[in-house]
Structure 1
Amino acid sequence: MEIQRVAVIGAGTMGHALALVHALGGCRVNLFDSNPDVLNGAPAMIRAACATLREAEAITAGQEHDALGRIAPAGTLAEAVRDADLIVEAVVEKAGIKRGVFAEIDRFAPAMAILASNTSYLDIFPLIPEARQARAAIAHWYTPPYIVDLVDLAPGPHTDEEIIPALKALYEGFGKAPQVFKHLVPGYIANRLQAALNLECLRMIDEFGVSAQDIDFSIRHGLTERLAVLGHMRKMDYTGLEMVRNGIAGGTYQPPRNTGESPVLDRLIEAGRGGVRSGAGFYDYGGASAEELFQERDLRLLRLKTQLQALMGEEQ
Structure 2
Amino acid sequence: MKEVAVIGAGTMGHALALVHALGGCRVMLHDAAAEVLARAPTLIAAASHTLCEAGTISTDEAEAARNRVLLADTIEQAVANADLIVEAVVEKAEVKRTVFGHIDRFAPASAILASNTSYLDIFPLIPAARQKNAAIAHWYSPPYIVDLVDIAPGPSTAREVIATLHALYEGFGKAPLVFDRLVPGYVANRLQAALNLECLRMIDEGWASAEDIDFSIRHGLVDRLALLGHMRKMDYTGLEMISNGLAARTYQPPENAGYSAVLARLIEEGRTGVRAGKGFYDYGDEPVEDLLHRRDLGLLQLKKMLSKTTGGQG
TM-score (norm 1): 0.98
Report the counterpart of residue 160 of structure 2 in structure 1: 162
CA deviation digits over 1:70-125, x for unaligned, max 9?
A: 11001110010011000000000000000000011000000000000000000000
Question: Equivalent residues in 2 for 1:25-104 (5 A)?
Answer: 25-104=23-102
Report the counterpart of residue 281 of structure 1 in structure 2: 279
Report the counterpart of residue 9 of structure 2 in structure 1: 11
- Which of residues 252, 255, 271 in structure 1 aligns to 2:253? 255
- Which of residues 215, 222, 225 in structure 2 aligns to 1:224? 222
- Which of residues 291, 301, 304 in structure 2 aligns to 1:303? 301
Identity of aligned residues (%): 68
Q: Hey, what's the Cα distance between the residues in 2 that align with 1:271 and 1:11?
A: 28
C-alpha displacement of 1:315: 2.6
Report the counterpart of residue 211 of structure 2 in structure 1: 213
Larger CA deviation: 202-211 vs 216-225 = 202-211
C-alpha displacement of 1:51: 1.0
Q: Hey, what's the Cα distance between the residues in 2 that align with 1:214 and 1:238?
A: 26
Q: Hey, what's the Cα distance between the residues in 1 that align with 2:282 and 2:183?
A: 36
TM-score (norm 2): 0.99
Q: Hey, what's the Cα distance between the residues in 2 that align with 1:6 and 1:285?
A: 36
Equivalent AA in structure 2 for residue 198 of structure 1:
N
- Which of residues 308, 311, 314 in structure 2 aligns to 1:313? 311
- Which of residues 118, 124, 149 in structure 2 aligns to 1:151? 149
- Which of residues 190, 203, 208 in structure 1 aligns to 2:201? 203
Q: Hey, what's the Cα distance between the residues in 1 that align with 2:70 and 2:132?
A: 28
For the pair 1:128 / 2:126, whether they are aligned, the reply is: yes
Q: Hey, what's the Cα distance between the residues in 2 that align with 1:271 and 1:162?
A: 49
Structure 1: runs of 5 or more not aligned: none
C-alpha displacement of 1:179: 0.7
Q: Hey, what's the Cα distance between the residues in 2 that align with 1:314 and 1:66?
A: 27
Q: Hey, what's the Cα distance between the residues in 2 that align with 1:228 and 1:47?
A: 29
Equivalent AA in structure 2 for residue 243 of structure 1:
M
Report the counterpart of residue 266 of structure 2 in structure 1: 268
Equivalent AA in structure 2 for residue 167 of structure 1:
L
CA contact (8 A) 2:306 2:312 kept: no
Q: Hey, what's the Cα distance between the residues in 1 that align with 2:41 and 2:232?
A: 42
Q: Hey, what's the Cα distance between the residues in 2 that align with 1:58 and 1:52?
A: 9
Report the counterpart of residue 294 of structure 1 in structure 2: 292
Q: Hey, what's the Cα distance between the residues in 2 that align with 1:42 and 1:315?
A: 33
Tell me the secondary structure at the aligned position of residue 211 of structure 2: helix
C-alpha displacement of 1:271: 1.5
Structure 2: runs of 5 or more not aligned: none
For the pair 1:114 / 2:107, whether they are aligned, the reply is: no
C-alpha displacement of 1:43: 0.4
Q: Hey, what's the Cα distance between the residues in 2 that align with 1:71 and 1:240?
A: 50
Tell me the secondary structure at the aligned position of residue 309 of structure 1: helix
CA deviation digits over 1:37-66, x for unaligned, max 9?
A: 110110000001011111111111100111
Tell me the secondary structure at the aligned position of residue 270 of structure 2: coil
C-alpha displacement of 1:213: 0.6
Q: Hey, what's the Cα distance between the residues in 1 that align with 2:16 and 2:50?
A: 16
Equivalent AA in structure 1 for residue 82 of structure 2:
A
CA deviation digits over 1:235-276, x for unaligned, max 9?
A: 111111111011011111000001111000111111121110
Over aligned residue pairs, what C-alpha RMSD do you find? 0.7
C-alpha displacement of 1:314: 4.1
How many residues are treated as equivalent by the alignment?
314
Equivalent AA in structure 2 for residue 295 of structure 1:
H
